[in-house]
A = this chain, B = another copy of it.
Amino acid sequence: TTKRSDGYMKKMGNFKGHALPGSFFLLFGLWWSVKYPFRYLCQKRKNIYLGSKAGFQRLEFIEGIIKIVFALIGMMGEQFVPDGPHLKLYNNEKKQWNYLMNWQHATMYLFYGISGLVDIVTHSTNVLPEALDRMMLSLAVFMEGFLFYYHIHGRSMLDFHVHQLLLITVFGGALCIFLEVFFHNSIVLEMFRTSLCILHGSWLWQIGFVLYPPSGSTEWNQEDHNNIMFLTMCYCWHYAITLLIMAVNYTLVSW
């Protein structure tokens, strides 16, 4: 029974490993779906009091701090869980690398942390060019996609597919943010980024449910082509619901 319990622990770990960053992206996406319409409408109605540049700079500053805090939590979590590397990269006894998965995840968080740092410096001083925060965020998102891309090699069909769908979101997001470097304050791009961010979060939850079904539910057949087709469609529905949520938030803000 110890073994079974071990498996259960591992599964829980993996479920949380998807659900926690998923929640983080969901949170940020939902926040952006309020912030950007708000700023856009303020600027349009020339509401100088609410749409002041200084106020929004302070928000960006706070966003940066939150990013750093989350990134630190993520890195600590990956390193110091019982089943983690504890900052040890090479296992000299087994002559092999130590918990490379955890190290890779920590690396992903690291770049989000750097992005947060750049946010803070960009919006608290005026030494750095303003567009650098988006450039760095774009790089952080790209790095996530890059690491994922080499991560998912050789997995089972279903596992590969759901992560591949995630990659579309990630690289799409990196591209969108890169465009924002040139098209500053474009509300359309900002809302597109927001939608991809929410989708990113909700799809991470979905992956967690599909690959590591929490206690009780039966596992998915990993090789059934119908499951692949269903999940492809499911991805579209996630996006449709994302658009619905954004529409609701936009309406609420415009009132």
Question: Is A100 in contact with chain B by the CB < 8 A criterion?
Answer: yes
Chain A interface, DSSP helix/strand/loop, else mixed: helix
**Copies of this subunit:** 4
Q: How large is the interface on A (under 10, 10 to 19, 20 to 34, 35 or more residues)?
A: 35 or more
Q: Is the CB–CB distance between B107 and A229 below 8 Å?
A: no
CB of B143 within 8 A of CB of A229, answer: no
In the complex, whether A103 has a CB less than 8 A from a CB of chain B is yes
For A143, the chain B residues whose CB sits under 8 A away are: 236, 239
Q: CA separation between A153 and B41, bound complex, in Å?
A: 45
Are the CB atoms of A188 and B135 closer together than 8 Å? yes
Determine whether the beta carbon of A129 is less than 8 Å from that of B229. Answer: no
Bound Cα distance from A97 to B231, whole angstroms: 11
Q: How far is the CB of A160 from chain B (nearest CB, A)?
A: 12
Pick from B96, B187, B229: contact of A150, CB under 8 Å: B229
7 more A-B contacts (CB under 8 A) besides A97-B229, A110-B236, A131-B188?
Answer: A104-B233, A107-B233, A127-B254, A129-B187, A135-B188, A150-B232, A182-B183
Which A residues are within 8 Å of any B CB, using their own CB?
Answer: 40-41, 96-97, 100, 103-104, 107, 110-111, 114, 127-129, 131-132, 135, 143, 146-147, 150-151, 153-154, 168, 181-183, 187-188, 191-192, 225-230, 232-233, 236-237, 239-240, 243, 250, 254
